[in-house]
Structure 1
Amino acid sequence: MQDIVSKSDLRAELLRRRAAMPPDARAAAGRSIRDALLSVPEVEMAGTVAAYVSVGTEPDTHGLLFALWKRGAYVILPRLLPDGDLDWASYEGPDSLVPGPRGCLEPSEPPRGPGAVASADVVLVPALAADRTGMRLGRGGGSFDRALARVGPAILTVALLYDSELLQNVPAEPHDRRVRAAVTPSEGLIRFA
């Protein structure tokens, strides 16, 4: 797949692969990712975790969000704004989620502003792929790149991936933001230099 150079071609191929995964394999991967993240020291100690509600064939985050919340972490989740930026609001359990734009679930709590992500101790972001330099390939809207631009350099930012989505290289543009780590079902947390 490394001969695919355009972001759009790479996205299409990765989405095809995700769609071809059996639901039980996706569920098992989500549990492995959850368990790996819950044992990461920064996550264990985090007062505030910025995360997201998985949708479609993304690695499942529902169990992870619930576990973080039950453990006492303050979990904030994005709310998509009309301009594509992300606002943030608190997660108060699975019943606090409501339908939002583009088929995503969002927290029903009051918005805290786009800058709320800057107060997080750990930031978990969706990705279709990442490479070992931390370059992340998202869905193309730029929402999480804007959010990552607000996060300080010492904060652990993690892309959640299936095993086959950690690539040799990911095409990038100047506005793209790197993550500091990725988590996969088989390798757990992988930190990037």
Structure 2
Amino acid sequence: MATSEKSEVRRRLRARRREIAAERDGAADGAALVAEVGVLVRRLGLAAGATVLSYESVAGEPPTQALNAWLLGEGYRVLVPDTLPDLDLGWHELAPGDGTVRGLGLEAVGDADLVLAPGLAVDGRGTRLGQGGGCYDRALPRRRAGVPVLVLLHPGEREADDVLPREAHDVPVDGVVTADGIHWPDPA
């Protein structure tokens, strides 16, 4: 049922992302994401030494390079995913300086104090629609209970008034961070 529906929604969302990303100022969005995540980590009471799961953005996604550099500079431990052949996620630590990468395996998601995840859209119930591999839906259940998951999106990619297709295995998220603020879905 939802697989073909999700495919059609993804097609539409990818086209919208291309349009939105073409109009965005990546440097300004990167700086705004740093400011918004700064507010978020203070609100959550996360101090230096806390572990943040992030990712290394690709073209078209909200930019994470400045954000990851800021997190490292503030003393946070930053883990980013490695997509495995079975589409599960292993993790490695971003290390300032030497660039040494040490794989930490599947269970490193359990170290997270905050998860910043990619996605194409999030609706008002917290349904996240990703690229379709189910990578985060496999990994997120291994995090500790209560660890918040927020998706980084471009302004205009939240589906606050629309309902995205959700299947039983889809892990809902707690919020969205965009260059224009932090948004909390109403799961009701």
The answer for the alignment partner of 1:72 in structure 2 is 75
- 1:26-55 Cα offsets, whole Å, 9 max, x none, are 513333222101221227526100110001
Q: What is the CA–CA distance in structure 2 between the aligned matches of 1:80 and 1:151, rounded to whole Å?
A: 17
Indicate if the aligned counterparts of 2:21 and 2:60 stay in contact, CA closer than 8 A.
no
Q: What is the CA–CA distance in structure 2 between the aligned matches of 1:124 and 1:179, rounded to whole Å?
A: 10
Partner letter of residue 63 of structure 2? D
Structure 1 residue 72: Cα displacement: 0.6
Structure 1 residue 152: Cα displacement: 2.5
- 1:86-129 Cα offsets, whole Å, 9 max, x none, are 11111013872xxxxxxxxxxx5111111101111001100100
Residue in structure 2 matching 1:119, options 111, 114, 117: 111
Q: What is the CA–CA distance in structure 2 between the aligned matches of 1:43 and 1:132, rounded to whole Å?
A: 25
Partner letter of residue 32 of structure 1? A
Partner letter of residue 17 of structure 2? R
The answer for the alignment partner of 1:8 in structure 2 is 7
The answer to whether 1:164 aligns with 2:146 is no
Indicate if the aligned counterparts of 1:181 and 1:190 stay in contact, CA closer than 8 A.
yes
Indicate if the aligned counterparts of 1:11 and 1:128 stay in contact, CA closer than 8 A.
yes
Matches within 5 A, 1:37-52: 37-40=37-40, 41=42, 42=44, 44-45=46-47, 47-52=50-55
Q: What is the CA–CA distance in structure 1 between the aligned matches of 2:83 and 2:132, rounded to whole Å?
A: 14
Q: What is the CA–CA distance in structure 2 between the aligned matches of 1:26 and 1:176, rounded to whole Å?
A: 31
Q: What is the CA–CA distance in structure 2 between the aligned matches of 1:43 and 1:55, rounded to whole Å?
A: 29
TM-score, normalised relative to structure 1: 0.84
Q: What is the CA–CA distance in structure 2 between the aligned matches of 1:33 and 1:175, rounded to whole Å?
A: 29
Indicate if the aligned counterparts of 1:26 and 1:57 stay in contact, CA closer than 8 A.
no
Which sections of structure 1, spanning at least 5 residues, go unmatched?
97-107
Q: What is the CA–CA distance in structure 1 between the aligned matches of 2:131 and 2:21, rounded to whole Å?
A: 21
Matches within 5 A, 1:123-134: 123-134=115-126
Percent of aligned pairs sharing the same letter: 36
Coordinate RMSD, CA, aligned: 2.0
Which stretches of structure 1, 4 residues or longer, exceed 4 Å deviation after superposition? none
TM-score, normalised relative to structure 2: 0.86
Q: Aligned to 2:24, what secondary structure does the other structure show?
A: helix
Indicate if the aligned counterparts of 1:38 and 1:44 stay in contact, CA closer than 8 A.
no
Q: What is the CA–CA distance in structure 2 between the aligned matches of 1:147 and 1:191, rounded to whole Å?
A: 22
How many matched pairs? 177
Q: What is the CA–CA distance in structure 1 between the aligned matches of 2:25 and 2:135, rounded to whole Å?
A: 24
Q: What is the CA–CA distance in structure 2 between the aligned matches of 1:192 and 1:22, rounded to whole Å?
A: 23
Aligned in 2, Cα 1:18/1:128: closer, same or farther, shift over 3 Å? Answer: same
Q: What is the CA–CA distance in structure 1 between the aligned matches of 2:22 and 2:34, rounded to whole Å?
A: 16
